[in-house]
Amino acid sequence: MKEIVKQELEFKGFKMSGFIMLFLHIIGLPALIAATIALFNAEEVIIPVCIILFLIWLISMFGYMQLEPNEARVMVFFGKYSGTFTQTGFHWVNPFYAKKKLSMRARNLDVAPIKVNDKGGNPIMVGLVLVWKLKDTYKAMFEIDSQTMASNVATGVTTVSSIMKAFENYVNIQSDAALRQVATRYNYDNNEGDSDELTLRSGGEEINEILENHLNERLAMAGIEVVEARINYLAYAPEIAAVMLRRQQASAVISAREKIVEGAVSMVKMALDKLANENIVELDDEKKAAMVSNLLVVLCSDEQAQPVVNTGTLYN
């Protein structure tokens, strides 16, 4: 995966404690009122000065902002990006900065299962769950049209929740595309073969890592980082699920039969060796074949064997 260049800058503009500025505002208003009353009968040039000072006091009220942990403010000064403010607490900055608030907290997204064709052309249903968060606020705000997507059509107002919802919608669409891309490159399984080829069902962490890399490549342009991505749903599509279930059941029956036959043959060999070594009875090739046949029928049969008592002799 190619290296992602971060374009986010730290805000270097003037800032001060919001509490200090609030104190100055509290004591400044009575001072302005008192000065205006005292100078009301003075020269006319003083009155406009008081009005200008009051407007400055009023405009400076819009410079307050408060940040909680894992929140950020993108600072824009008349259309120019001036950095990202990430220092938590209560602050005051130039009121002419546009302070666009973003959440840097991790978020979950559960992508509903989608129908795709695997590498072998079989229709399957696959879904994923991922954890994502904003990593580069510059790209998030200016590389994709998140602000237009988040603006309310009726009022034109953009809120933090609407912006994050726009990001979530963007992640959802790109996740769908990445999931389809990965699912079409691998088979659902290896059809119980001996091939070591990576499959969706057996890939586990390796498939999840490949999916995560594809997601990060797609979302890097938007300044979004995928912390974790996992396939949480994987099944054949309903139209072939019954057929594939019968195939899996048949394969399981064959595997079980192989184990049964393997064990039965070893038991028959052990029985013949035991009879020969301890000279219990001498069997010719014909009797051995009959004994082997009977033992295999008993050991491999699905039903309980019915014993037959031979009252004659083995040599009759």
CATH number of 107-236: 3.30.479.30
The more confident residue out of 132 and 292 is 132
Task: Please tell me the distance from the alpha carbon of residue 204 to that of residue 142, in angstroms, as a whole number.
Answer: 36
Both tokens of 221, joined, read 């342009």
Whether 30 has a pLDDT exceeding 60, the answer reads yes
pLDDT single digits (tens) 69-99: 999 999 999 989 999 999 999 999 999 999 9
Residue type, 185: R
Short-list 11, 72, 68, CA closest to 223:
72
Residue 93 confidence (pLDDT): 94
Percent pLDDT > 90 in the chain is: 28
Q: 41-45, 141-145, 300-304: lowest mean pLDDT where?
A: 41-45
| pLDDT value of position 303 | 61
Going by pLDDT thresholds of 50, 70 and 90, the confidence category of residue 108 is very high
Does an H or E element contain 69, and which? none
Task: Give pLDDT, residue 120.
Answer: 82
What gap in Å lies between CA 86 and CA 99, rounded to an integer?
12
Mean pLDDT of the residues in the chain: 80
Which residue did the predictor score with more confidence, 119 or 312? 119
Q: Is the pLDDT of residue 308 over 70?
A: no
State yes or no: pLDDT of 154 exceeds 50.
Answer: no
Is the pLDDT reported for residue 106 higher than 50?
yes
Model confidence pLDDT, tens digit, residues 120-152: 888 889 999 999 999 999 998 888 887 776 665
pTM of the model: 0.70
Distance of CA 190 to the CA centre of its chain: 26
Stated length of the chain:
316
Dist CA 176 CA 182 (whole Å): 10
